[in-house]
Structure 1
Amino acid sequence: MSFDDEWGETKASAMRLNQAGSTGGSAPKPGSASYVVEDDELGDIGHAAYGLFNGLEPGGKHAAAASETAGTSLKGDGFDSGAALTEVNQTWEKQVKTLLQACAHISNHLDHTKKSRKEDDDWIQAQLRIVGPVVPGNDGALPASQINKFFR
């Protein structure tokens, strides 16, 4: 099997996975797909993760002190539910911290990706201006229709 055949099958398989469970969204049709992520989309997702982080910080901890006090009091009065409540509270706090870390990681990663992608795009554009022929009205940039010949 040639590389082109294998690559085509891999892309088709990825598109099928991308559409699995779809509820009629805007997934491209197999064979016509273009994997494009706009900067605005990265920014929106990063902003949502940042917003979740900021809302979860106080919201996820608002009952911690009361739960700890109640657990200690119940345990002191001889109720087994006091120890259970304390354990549940500790587990909850660990889960909130984990989710906070995940939100921060997503937000930071998307910020980095957006910045890195912009730098890569600028570098590629500069390189194409260097190697490409001057096209009238295009400030020396290589038109998209000509880029392909440099990869064959």
Structure 2
Amino acid sequence: MVWDERGQIRADSGERMRLNQLAPDGGGGAGTPDLASTPAQKKAAANAIEKHLEPDTKKAGDKAEESTGAAVKEFTAKDGEGWDTSAALKKAHEAWEKQVKALMNRLGSEKQALRNTSLLFQNNDIGIATQARQSSSLDKY
């Protein structure tokens, strides 16, 4: 559907977009929870990444490494003639390996971010309090 048609349908139905209002109760969308979480929830999420997601992702990557390596070896040239499948598998595996590495790096950075959030908020609070409580010439009176 083109944008003009969609806009006309919305206008005909009385549907309007308003940007100057609060989100409905319960967050930004219908039935979606707020993004706020407690320090305990952040710690639990970081622990889940560390204890489950990272090791399971590494284990899956290692298993794929073994089976793909065996397949590449099986399809390589033994008598001067090899299958194109071998080179294609090797190339696909190299791309997949990069994606797994990027995912592992992302998981690690998300874990660190979850663990550092409360410290960052605390440091911000201290910094703001220090700036707000700078000495004034009125303090002498």
User: How does the TM-score come out when normalised to structure 2?
Assistant: 0.59
Q: Highest Rg: 1 or 2?
A: 2
Aligned residue pairs total 110
Quote how far apart the aligned CAs of 1:88 are.
2.0
Share of identical aligned residues, percent?
Answer: 21
Runs of 4+ more than 3 Å apart: 13-17, 24-27, 118-121
User: How does the TM-score come out when normalised to structure 1?
Assistant: 0.55
Match of 1:37 in 2: 37
| CA distance in structure 1 between the aligned counterparts of 2:115 and 2:58, rounded to whole angstroms | 20
Quote how far apart the aligned CAs of 1:49 are.
2.3
| CA distance in structure 2 between the aligned counterparts of 1:14 and 1:57, rounded to whole angstroms | 41
| CA distance in structure 1 between the aligned counterparts of 2:61 and 2:24, rounded to whole angstroms | 37
Question: Structure 1 pair 15/99, CA: closer, same or farther in 2 (3 Å)?
Answer: farther
Quote how far apart the aligned CAs of 1:14 are.
9.7
| CA distance in structure 2 between the aligned counterparts of 1:105 and 1:15, rounded to whole angstroms | 32
Alignment of 1:100 with 2:113, yes or no, is: no
Name the aligned partner's letter for residue 71 of structure 1.
Answer: V
Question: In the TM superposition, what are the counterparts of 1:1-152 in structure 2 within 5 Å?
Answer: 9=20, 12=22, 18-19=28-29, 24-27=31-34, 36-51=36-51, 52-77=53-78, 78-121=82-125, 123=126
Question: Structure 1 pair 82/110, CA: closer, same or farther in 2 (3 Å)?
Answer: same
- Contact 1:46 / 1:108 at 8 angstroms: preserved in 2? yes
| CA distance in structure 2 between the aligned counterparts of 1:37 and 1:16, rounded to whole angstroms | 13
> More relative contact order in 1 or in 2 (CA 8 Å, sep 6+)?
2
Question: Structure 1 pair 16/41, CA: closer, same or farther in 2 (3 Å)?
Answer: closer
| CA distance in structure 1 between the aligned counterparts of 2:39 and 2:27, rounded to whole angstroms | 24
